Amino acid sequence: MLVLTRKQDEGIMLGNNITIKVLGIEDGKVKIGIEAPAEIEIHRQEVYDQIRQENLDATYVKNDALDKLKMK
């Protein structure tokens, strides 16, 4: 992992067309602005992690829970 320290209003470039900027720092929170081409998906990491975990949980189905699908 590349670790950089930035102050307010400083930025980081990823490749040629993605820019990350520190817009504000307050209360232990950092406001981050991201400029990227529309085809790049941007998400909060914990949301992505949550979805990954949910997909994983969804593959654990007991076959007898499925038998109930027949009855319902």
Give the binding site for other proteins (CB under 8 A): 38-39, 41, 43, 47-48, 50-59, 61-63, 65-66, 68-70, 72
Q: How far is the CB of 53 from other proteins (least distance, A)?
A: 7
Name the one residue in this structure whose structure tokens are 């085809």. 39
Check residue 69 and report its DSSP letter: H
Q: How far is the CB of 46 from other proteins (least distance, A)?
A: 11
Amino acid at 56: L
Q: Nearer to other proteins by C-beta: 4 or 69?
A: 69
Q: How far apart are CA 64 and CA 57, in angstroms?
A: 16
